[in-house]
Amino acid sequence: MNQPLWVSIVPREESAQLLVSEARRGTVLKARLPLPRTKHALRMLLESLSHWYNRPLVAVLDADAEEVSAHPERWAVWLSDTDDLDVTVRWVRSRGDRARDRFFDGLGDFARARKLLSFEAGGQ
């Protein structure tokens, strides 16, 4: 099975930043686009990227962005009806100030392991 293509979507007041990444390759596309003008535009863009690369796509939406917090219903409509396609959308909140589990602290630095996972999943 093909590794998925990863797209991060960071909404701003008037635009959205998109970063497209391929596993083991890294960033393949960066864009700053105006917010969609029709309800199907974003879904069609994601579907088109999936077809362009001929692989499934995972879109990660910054759910903490002010634009999303102010208009969640708009983003829900723009990103609806994608799960039946080769596109999956995940609404992700940043970790913030969550309490950290100190259980593994004495086992050393796992930076290399984190880097390998990040590289394999999104090429970053």
**What does the CA dihedral 40, 63, 90, 86 come to, rounded to 10 degrees?**
20
Instruction: List pLDDT tens digits, range 64-107.
Output: 999 999 999 999 999 887 666 689 999 998 765 555 566 666 66
Q: Write the CB contacts of 2 (distance below 8 Å, at least 6 apart in sequence).
A: 54, 55, 56
Instruction: List pLDDT tens digits, range 4-59.
Output: 999 999 999 899 999 999 988 889 999 999 999 999 999 999 999 999 999 999 99
Instruction: Could you please state the CATH topology (level 3) that the domain comprising 5-95+102-122 is classified under.
Output: Nucleotidyltransferase; domain 5 (3.30.420)
How much is the pTM? 0.76
**Could you tell me the residue ranges of all domains in the chain?**
5-95+102-122
